[in-house]
Amino acid sequence: MKKNNSYEISQSTLALVNAKDIVYQTIIYDVNGTYVTKQMINQLINDACLKANTTYQAKREISRRKFGQRAKPPIIIDATDGLYLVPTMSPRSYDCMYLFPEHISEISNDKTPIVTFKNGLTLPINCSKSSLKRQIERAKVQMYDHIPKVWMIMERYNKRSPWWDLYDPHK
């Protein structure tokens, strides 16, 4: 494992796990390797949310109020990039892991399920297969709720859009 105390969550992040170490707080599984950092998981997620002009707490509150997901709410970091994560347990639990579902290729049917990522990495998880699948479905519902709004905003500024013809100052 490599040390990285300035890691930023990105499209290549696979999972975040508490390190259970005296010095390092988080193990980061990434497409490019495995890292340890002194940053806490909540700090990493909040930094990613701030980059997308919101906060981790705001995203949790949206999941709770708008979608009624009080337990283990998924976090949509950036809908335009399709960047979201799901917790395996309550975020208050020290054993909570955060997975980025777009990288998951398979979940085993074992008593202790093993997630296989698209890059071949395997990781035992601490929840049932059905629980993880339910979490992913919840996250997708939230993603699809964000996407139409994002498309409308993007379409306004797309020069090939019929909207552009109405507001083009150069015509």
Dihedral angle over CA of 163, 165, 169, 171, nearest 10: 180
What would the pLDDT profile of 112-144 be if each residue is shown by its tens digit? 899 999 999 999 999 999 999 999 998 888 887
Residue 65 has pLDDT above 60, yes or no: yes
Instruction: Quote the radius of gyration of the chain (alpha carbons, Å).
Output: 18
Higher-confidence residue of 30 and 5: namely 30
The angle formed by the CA atoms of residues 119, 124 and 129, to the nearest 5 degrees, is 95
pLDDT of residue 1: 84
